[in-house]
Amino acid sequence: MSARLDPFATASAGKLVKQFTSVGRLVVESPLPAATRELVSLRVSQINGCAVCIDMHTKEAGAAGESSVRLHLVAGWREATVFTEAERAALELAEQATRIADGAGGVPDEVWERAVKHYDEDQLMALVTLIAFMNAANRLNVVLQQPAGDYRPGQFK
């Protein structure tokens, strides 16, 4: 598969991508734990079917020391015993926010309350921003048919 469009091909497109990805860099600099960031990024990308983001976040998490067991179980996190309660709350929030159109009224209060138990306001803002960012990135990559499989950890740093 080849991409429909190279987002770096023109100065104008490159400028858009640079500004867009700056939000992702701000989330990386936030107090949200790195493992939580990668798990949430991976789960959102799985839901949205974004192969290039699945490739990227699986490899980044592995390079950061995340176990293959946890990475393989992200899609079935509810039944898995390898995630902390905080990670489970973040994954649940990520799923509900990604599937926002599926539920009347948006993210249920009980889902939000579980997240509030584990994350402070700065971390919550970073988490919500990450979820929104990943959903947008997934959509860009899926629409543009960005190919997956060749990502190298640290490639975009």
Q: What is the pLDDT of residues 6-47, one digit of tens each?
A: 877 888 888 998 999 999 999 999 999 999 999 999 999 999
Residue 115 lies in a domain: yes
In a domain, 8, yes or no: no
Residue 9 lies in a domain: no
63 found inside a domain: yes
Q: Is residue 125 part of a domain?
A: yes
Kindly list the distances between the CA atom of residue 8 and the CA atoms of 1, 5, 14, 20, 71, in Å, as whole numbers in the listed order.
18, 9, 5, 13, 30
Question: Is 87 among the domain residues?
Answer: yes
pLDDT in tens, 60-92: 999 999 999 999 999 999 999 999 999 999 999
Only one residue has tokens 């899609």, namely 75
Q: What single string gives the DSSP state of each residue in 103-128?
A: STTSS-HHHHHHHHTT--HHHHHHHH
Residue 18 lies in a domain: no
Do the domain assignments include residue 23?
no
Q: Which CATH number belongs to the domain containing residue 131 in this structure?
A: 1.20.1290.10
Total domain count for the chain? 1
Report the pLDDT value the prediction gives residue 121, as an integer from 0 to 100.
Answer: 98
CA dihedral 107, 110, 112, 114 (to 10 degrees): -140
Give 91-142 pLDDT, tens digit per residue: 999 999 999 988 777 899 999 999 999 999 999 999 999 999 999 999 999 9
What is the extent of the structural domain holding 80? 33-144
